[in-house]
Structures are given as structure tokens and as C-alpha cells.
Amino acid sequence: MPELPEVETVRRGLAPYLEGRSLVRVDVRRADLRIPVPRDFAGRATNRRVERLWRRGKYLLMELDDGATIIAHLGMSGRLVLAGNGVNGQGRHDHVSFETEDGTHIVFNDPRRFGLITLAGPGDLENHPLLAAMGPEPLDPAFDGAVISAALRTRSASIKAALLDQHVMAGIGNIYACEALFRARISPRRKAKGVAGQRAERLVLALKQVLTEAIEAGGSSLRDHRRPDGGLGYFQHSFAVYGREGEPCPGCNCDRDETGGIRRMVQGGRSTFFCSRRQR
DNA sequence: CGGCAAACCTGCGAGC
DNA sequence: TGCTCGCAGGTTTGCC
């Protein structure tokens, strides 16, 4: 499910229930996620207070009062939801659950188990292998044309592939890569190193805008994404190209013919949606 | 380094 | 109704 806006939506939804609260009970019902939940996970998290719920790229991070940090990634199908919204903590794919001191139950549910929950000890987060090499946050004010140009300058891969590479920048997935390239009018086939100057400026602006708008809309609910309260995001209604193969291009209104309309191609095994007339 | 395919795992919709 | 196929928002690994 989750790219940066969806993870940020989850963070915002859960923060009021977690920040400043102690975890009085932690249950691991299934530990064989993408990387195994550590054996001592429940013991190390129980009776710790959550100081801060924050996000790095697509990772949700729960900083605990002993300096350790719970690391969660939702993979393709993961959810972190408040119990009671169709999830009770006992379901087939309810793998980990947390209960806070005021009786709130939060459940990590992930049918495909591409997600993970683990824990970094005090001081270990910065060097944690999952996070250490991650690129900059696209919504950081310091993320600008110069930063993105420097990150892309050495990359001969396509710009679409570069956007999906979490070492280049953090949090972009297939949907927002397609949407940002459309807004920036850049061909997904263009070499990443060819995105500099004005193109880089347009791309930075497009990324910031599409991510911000998506967060404001509560993310995109296609198959799996739910807000922590069970509610739907609705940014999917604002997609310009993603999943719109065969439709007229909303930018130039070109219709489906030799050169126009929204087309789908496969890059690196992932679908790319684009308008070859508008994106160069 | 790059590009690609496959692997991880389950569910869903389309088509027959 | 029921089966098979293809596809899915992510990431890693291995091969050429």
C-alpha cells in the first residue's frame, strides 16, 4: 500500500494515541515477517513509554523512553490500525498488537507479510541497516533543485527507476513517481542524469506538491490503505495518470492515438503510466 | 553500476 | 459456481 503520504497519514492518525502513552502489553502472534520480529521484542517494548511517533521515508518510528526505537514498515499490504475497525487483533493476518495504558489497541495487520516490525536499541537507529543509506526526505525544505541534481548526476538509469530507489530520495513509490513525473512533464524513460537545471526544479516542485496534496487527502486507498481509524484516503480520485491507461491526458487533453493519451509501459517490472506527448 | 527477473506472500478481479 | 491467470502501493538478491 504505502508510500510516503500513506505512511504519514498513519503517523498522524496514531500519534494522539501513542505519544506520551506507555505500552502496557505487546503481543507478537506471528514473527516471520520480511525480517523476523526479534525474539525479545515484546519484552523490550512492554512498559516503555512512546516519546515520539515519527517517519523516515516509508518507515514509521516509535521512539521509546529508554532511547530504543520500534521500526515498522508496511510493505505492500500492511496496516497499523486502531482495533475495532474490522480488526480485533485476533485475525489471520493480525501479526503484532500493542495496548496502551488507556486501553487503546493498535494492530499491525499484513496479509502479504512484506512489511516488518523490529526494534533498534538505544543509539542504534542512525546506523541501522534499514535506514542508514536512505536518501533525503523530499518534503524537507532543504530538498531543492541542487540537492536532487546532485543525487541524480551520476545515475544513468531512468529517472523513474531513480525515483523508486530509496537511496536517491526517501518515500517515493510507484504511484507518486508516475504522478510527479507527469506533473513535471518529464519522460519516465529519460536518463536520471539528464534531469538537471529547470527540469530538476520542476521535479522538486512536482514531488513536493503531489506528496503534500496526497497527505492532505489522507493518502490513496486502492486496495489496502486505511487510515488508522479505518477511514479511506481519497487522493486516488486525484490521480492524473496512475491506473488511467487509455484515458485522455488531463494535461494536454490529447486523446488516445499514435502519440497521445495515457499509456502504460513496464520499467523494471513495474507499471509506468504516462503521456508521451506531454512528458519529454 | 545498470537492467532485468525472480523471490518473498496473499488476495482480488477478470476471463473462461 | 469455480478454476486459472495476471496483477498489486515494496524491497532484496542474483545473474548477465
pLDDT of A25 > 80? The answer is yes
Bases along strand B below 7 A from a protein CB: 1-12
Query: Which residue places its CA closest to the C1' of nucleotide B13?
Result: A223
A270 is catalytic: yes
Residue A84 is predicted with a pLDDT of 86
Per annotation, catalytic residue among A3, A8, A99, A179: A3
- Note if the pTM is more than 0.85: yes
Is A160 among the catalytic positions? no
Q: For A145-171, what is each residue's pLDDT tens digit?
A: 999 999 999 999 999 999 999 999 999
**pLDDT per residue over A31-76, tens digit each?**
999 999 999 999 999 999 999 999 999 999 999 999 999 999 999 9
Which nucleotide is closest to the Cα of A268 by its C1'? Answer: B4
Taking the C1' atom of every nucleotide in all shown strands and the CA of A57, the nearest one is: C10
Which nt sits closest to A113, CA to C1'?
Answer: B9
- Write down the catalytic residue from A2, A5, A138, A188: A2
Would the pLDDT of A256 be above 90?
no
- Rounded to whole angstroms, the distance from the CA of residue A13 to the C1' of nucleotide C4 is 40
Per-residue pLDDT, A238: 94
Whether A221 shows a pLDDT value over 90: the answer reads no
pLDDT of A115 above 90: yes
Catalytic residue among A11, A48, A58, A202: A58
Q: Does position A173 have pLDDT exceeding 80, yes or no?
A: yes
Quote the mean pLDDT of chain A: 94
Nucleotide nearest to A224 (CA to C1'): C9
Span A84-107, average pLDDT: 93
| pLDDT given at position A196 | 94
Confidence of residue A260 (pLDDT cuts 50, 70, 90): low
Q: Gap from A196 CA to B11 C1', in Å? A: 41
Cα separations in angstroms, A253 against A143, A188, A231, A259 = 32, 19, 33, 12
Question: What's the Å distance between residue A184 CA and nucleotide B3 C1'?
Answer: 25
Cell 516519546 appears where?
Answer: A51
Most confident range (mean pLDDT) of A65-69, A127-131, A220-224 is A65-69
Residues A202-235, buried b or exposed e (16+ Cβ, 10 A)? bbbebbbebbeebbebbbbbeebbbbbeeeebeb
Active-site residue, selected from the candidate residues A25, A191, A270, A277:
A270
What is the average pLDDT across A181-187? Answer: 96
A107 pLDDT above the threshold of 90: yes
* A264 is known as an active-site residue: no
